[in-house]
Structure 1
Amino acid sequence: MNRHLTGLFLLAAGLCAAYEAKAQKTYEEMELLTVNEQVTTVITASEPVRLVDISTDKVAGDQPLDNIIRLKPKEAGHEDGEVLAIVTIVTERYRTQYALLYTTRMKEAVTDKEILPAEREGYHNPAVSMSTAEMTGLARRIWNSPAKIRNVASKAHRMTMRLNNIYAAGDYFFIDFSIENRTNIRFDIDEIRVKLADKKVSKATNSQVIELQPAMVLEPAQSFKRGYRNVIVVRKMTFPNDKVLTVEMTEKQISGRNISLHIDYEDVLAADSFDNSLLEEE
């Protein structure tokens, strides 16, 4: 019995030691990327990057797209194998570190690097309550679901804009809307805006409009001929009954057609009743 307990203790101690060893890392244990001042190294993540840290000023970097990082040494004159910097990349759900090693031979420099699953360390980012992948998945399911709201619509320029659904999931509202174009003129989308505005404005009162930045717009389509449907995701909010949530679409053409959908607070409150049914749908 004592030998058995001793064996269990040693096994537990070994596991703890292995965990502690894994919990810290030196640059020699990191993935290595060779870099050269004449080559731009492009790193691609599988999801949006929220933070990039380059440990020294020997390497320049920028982020041209949400999931792409570009790196390049600022100058020559370094020795082969010299560690110029450690780059730390934090996305919505994981983090990755690379040691950047200088090479004098341009052909050895890494030009294109995709962050592999084995290089990702799981990370709970407190600033992200719902990842872009999760958000897109829910929005797509809503886009494919039938309309449950039939009484919220507006008309302009022989077009009808309708609210199909409002879902609440996590910290976000998912606003599902569609537009029917009954003209023969294609609508080229300039922008889609979400605003919080006064319901009624008297001539003596200044209107207060608050622009809301969508967390995501599902469909990237730039134009449509007859029908259009999209899902916009905005952070949950409360607002007084004298305000309305407005989704506005404007056109690029000289004619400048625009159409807006006004959503009352009562409709937004109704979103809570859809939350569980959305998450349970297959």
Structure 2
Amino acid sequence: MKKILLLAIFSLLGIGGFAQTATKEQIVSDLPELEITEGINLHIISPEPIQYVDLSTQKLTGDLPTSNIARIKITDAETDQTGKTKNPIHYSVGENIGIITVVGQSFIAQYKAVYRNSENFNTITNIHIQAEDMQPIEFNKMIFSNLELRKFAMDIIQKKADKNPIREEKDFKLGVQLNNVYVLSDYIFLDMTFKNNSNLSYDIEDLKFSIEDKKIYKATNNQSIEMTPIFQLNPNKHLRKNFRNIYVFKKFTYPNSKVMMIRLIEEQLSGRTIEMKVNYSEILKADTF
């Protein structure tokens, strides 16, 4: 495990750095305390993906087992430059052993790690970051957190799907509908419904989005650009009857000579595949909300 954990996903989000915020300054004495001891990992659970974790001293070490959980523990012994163990580290009860900083997509939270005796059976093993411990941070560009994207997607899905979808394709007793397209800031939301009119359940291998040429004269001439949603409301791998979902993309454009291709692919052996083409003109008619 690294002594100082730094996970930077800013390049993926297109973030160059933080803008100045109007939040108050933090003082070490005012930070909430987290008790920690030998032999017990402390798990800090974030409501949104963690972008960065800083451990201020070498007395703390940790990692990110998942995108929204930071795992922290006490360093048992000193190590030299080669990583070999040197002398064991001894701690005293109540000792301040470092500051833990957790940065999410829209907040920063800081805690003061305090040593407690390993014989204390009330030592906390996990905490959820609470709203009162979060300080909001602002980015140079409008970036929405996954929590905010989920809220927007829920607002959309609570609306009734239009009886006349923008696009609809049917095959193999399957149906794919593009109910509507919404835009908010630099985000595009696709409201889609999938229908299975057969008695055979559909196990989804993949749902692919790509930008491709409208006219393909030769297979080698086709320039396909795969697109991956940055967020989807409900990850689902099984389609029994009807299923509606929201897929979110960062803003994109493509010329009239190309189309967005949406492919629903079933797991083998059946391998039923259904495709739908979406023209850019239909994306341009997106609603706001």
Give TM class, smaller chain. 0.7 to 0.9
Q: TM-score, normalised by structure 1?
A: 0.80
In structure 2, what is the Cα distance between the partners aligned to 1:47 and 1:96?
12
Q: 2: CA distance between counterparts of 1:37 and 1:206?
A: 61
1:193 aligned to 196, 199, 208, which one?
208
Are the counterparts in 1 of residues 211 and 261 from structure 2 also a CA contact under 8 Å? Answer: yes
After superposition, the C-alpha distances for 1:192-212 in whole angstroms (9 at most, x for unaligned) are 222122222222633222122
Distance 1:220 1:151, change over 3 A: closer
CA separation of 1:83 and 1:128: change in aligned 2, threshold 3 A:
farther
One-letter identity of the residue aligned with 1:152:
R
Matching of residue 169 in structure 1 with residue 180 in structure 2: no
Q: Deviations over 1:162-200 (max 9, x none)?
A: 111001111111111112212111011223222122222
Q: 1:78 aligns with which of 84, 90, 114?
A: 90
Amino acid at match of 2:263: E
* 1:71 Cα offset (Å): 0.9
- Bigger mean CA deviation after superposition, 42-51 or 239-248: 42-51
Contact kept in structure 2, 1:78 and 1:102, CA below 8 Å:
no
Alpha-carbon distance between aligned partners in 2 of 1:148 and 1:240, rounded to the nearest angstrom: 29
3-state SS of paired residue (2:221): coil
The structure that is helix-richer by fraction is 1
Q: Does 1:144 align with 2:144?
A: no
Residue of structure 2 equivalent to 1:63: 64
Query: Per the alignment, do residues 41 and 163 of structure 1 end up closer, same or farther by CA in structure 2, a change over 3 Å counting?
Result: same
2:26 and 2:165 map into 1 onto residues whose CA distance is: 57
Task: Find the residue that maps to 1:185 and give its secondary structure.
Answer: coil
RMSD between aligned alpha carbons?
2.3
Q: 1:97 aligns with which of 106, 110, 116?
A: 110
1:249 is aligned to 264
- Between the two proteins, the alignment pairs up a number of residues equal to 253
| Whole-angstrom CA distance in 2 between matches of 1:65 and 1:71 | 13
The amino acid across from 2:91 in the alignment is E
Aligned pair in 2 of structure 1 residues 51, 128: CA closer, same or farther (>3 Å)? farther
Q: Distance in 1 between matches of 2:146 and 2:166?
A: 31
The answer as to whether partners of 2:38 and 2:118 remain within 8 angstroms in 1 is no
Does residue 40 (structure 1) correspond to residue 41 (structure 2)? The answer is yes
Letter of the structure 1 residue corresponding to residue 273 of structure 2: N
Q: Does structure 2 conserve the Cα–Cα contact (< 8 Å) formed by 1:244 and 1:264? A: yes
Give the one of 105, 124, 135 matched to 1:110.
Answer: 124
Q: Aligned equivalents of 1:259 and 1:85: distance in 2?
A: 55
Write out aligned runs for 1:172-183 (5 A).
172-183=187-198
Note closer, same or farther for the CA distance 1:194–1:78 as it changes in structure 2 (3 Å cut).
farther
Equivalent residue for 1:9? none
Helix, strand or coil at the partner of 2:253? coil
Evaluate the alpha carbon distance shift between residue 44 and residue 179 of structure 1 in structure 2; reply closer, same or farther with a 3 A threshold.
same
Label 1:150 to 1:140 Cα distance change in 2 as closer, same or farther (>3 A): same
Equivalent AA in structure 2 for residue 209 of structure 1: S
Distance 1:121 1:256, change over 3 A: same
- 1:66 deviation in Å? 3.3
User: Could you say which residue in structure 2 is the equivalent of 1:17?
Assistant: none
2:20 is matched with none
8 Å Cα contact 1:92/1:125 also seen in 2 = no
CA drift of 1:87 comes to 1.4
Q: Indicate the percent of aligned positions where both proteins have the same amino acid.
A: 31
Which amino acid letter does the alignment assign opposite residue 212 of structure 2? A
Q: For 1:88-122, what per-residue CA distance to the aligned partner results, in whole angstroms no more than 9, with x for missing partners?
A: 11123221101222334253543111222222222
